[in-house]
Amino acid sequence: MSLMEEIGERAHRLAVPFSAQLDLTYRCNEDCVHCYLDHQDHGEMTTAEIKQLLKEMADAGVFFLTLSGGEIFLRKDFFEILECARALTFCIKLKTNAVLIREAQAARLRDLGVESIQISIYSHRPEVHDAITKISGSLQRSIKAIRFLRSQGLKVIMANVLMTENMHDYRDTHRLAEELGAEYTLDPTVTPMMNGDRGVLNLNVGETDLHRVFRDESLVGDAAEFCAPPRPLGEDNMDSTPCSAGHTACYISPYGEFYPCVQFPLSCGNVRQQSFIDIWRNSEQLNEVRSIRLRDLSSCSQCAHGGSCTRCPGLAFLEGNMRGPSTADCERSFARTGIPSANLLSQKEKTSSARLVQIQLVPAITGNRLSEVGNAASAVAS
């Protein structure tokens, strides 16, 4: 076990919120086709509220802090917030499209010592990337920012969400990251809207393409991060915690809503009404999330993938049951291993049964219809 894994395991055992994501705004200067956010401003936290929250998070034990959005540079107080966070000795990770980063901003990011900057690049081709962001010239501006950030010695991570629009571009996008000196991550997960709208899931790549991606040797070492905490030595798989959400990690929206994770929109309180630590320790919703073990997951506990699946309880929650399976993760497990999960087998059985019923009904329906036609013809003849 590495030092970081050991620290993470200890944080999990002591229920310390080791990492947190704070979205400063949902406003954005891009309008990505797959984005799960409402980009209207419904009353963001003020600078003072965010500074107070940062102090509470530091006191609670948060070490890794991700500042994200929306587009973080649309907050005019962004650097004031960042300076406050660094003074509290957080290890800072940023998520941005980098369109607004110029030389002055890059220099300040370097001087403030941010750990990494994640920038979403969807394709090496402007016509594809810009169609996804709906902003002409956005790829060119983001690449220019990446080059400059790298020239300043900053760590850049190019994040590529895989979807139908850019499915055939990921290899060249990977090569672009290498040329720019950036790390590369590929995520085949399109997340439902936070309001529960699942229409955006039509952008997910199909089963055949997903199989091809998971067998692409050029992606070795670029697997998506697995959110589950390290399991203590000797712990039974059935007693393991499925995810870090609510155990060592959490997410705060621009409006102060406290969630287990950015992909787990179960409201556990609001930091405008309660202190961060009060919600962390006493929220009924968080305690319910923490109570879940693999053995409690109805179909997952019986599944061959149980001990290795990257099941996301947030995606399962958006499907209607945080203790149920996440179909998206079942599909990824199948793509990795070629072995269908218990959930996928169950779905196929239901589909097969439904088709069998349809096949059985067709002759009866056809016969009834012919009888109706015959009766009508007889009536006309008479």
Residue 369 has pLDDT above 60, yes or no: no
Structure confidence at residue 229 (pLDDT): 54
Q: How confident is the model at residue 355 (pLDDT cuts 50, 70, 90)?
A: low
- Provide CB contacts within 8 A for 221, sequence distance 6+: none
Give residue for tokens 């009904």. 361
Single out the residue of 125, 200, 217, 117 nearest to residue 167, CA to CA: 125
- Weakest-pLDDT range from 140-154, 218-232, 322-336: 218-232
pTM as predicted: 0.81
The pLDDT value recorded for residue 222 is 45
Give the separation between CA 151 and CA 153, rounded to whole angstroms.
5
Lowest mean pLDDT among 14-18, 113-117, 225-229, 378-382: 378-382
Is residue 309 scored above 70 in pLDDT?
no
Which residues, 6+ apart, have CB-to-CB distance to 239 below 8 Å?
A: 293, 294, 295
Residue 185 has pLDDT above 50, yes or no: yes
Average of pLDDT values for 338-350? 68
Kindly give the interhelix angle for 138-151 and 126-133, rounded to the nearest 10 degrees: 100
Q: What is the DSSP letter of 20?
A: E
The band of 332, judged by pLDDT with boundaries at 50, 70 and 90, is: confident
* Region of poorest pLDDT, from 69-83, 101-115, 159-173, 282-296: 282-296
* Torsion angle in degrees (nearest 10) through CA of 96, 97, 100, 103: 80
Each residue's pLDDT tens digit, 206-254: 888 888 887 787 775 544 444 555 555 445 556 667 688 899 999 999 9
State the pLDDT at residue 314. 83
What average pLDDT does this structure show over 323-328? 79
* Model confidence band, residue 108 (pLDDT cutoffs 50, 70, 90): very high
Give Rg (Cα) of the chain.
24
Task: Report helix angle 138-151 to 170-180, nearest 10.
Answer: 30
* 276-305 confidence digits (pLDDT tens): 999 999 999 999 998 887 777 766 666 766
User: Are the CB atoms for 100 and 142 separated by under 8 Å?
Assistant: no
Mean pLDDT in residue range 32-53: 94
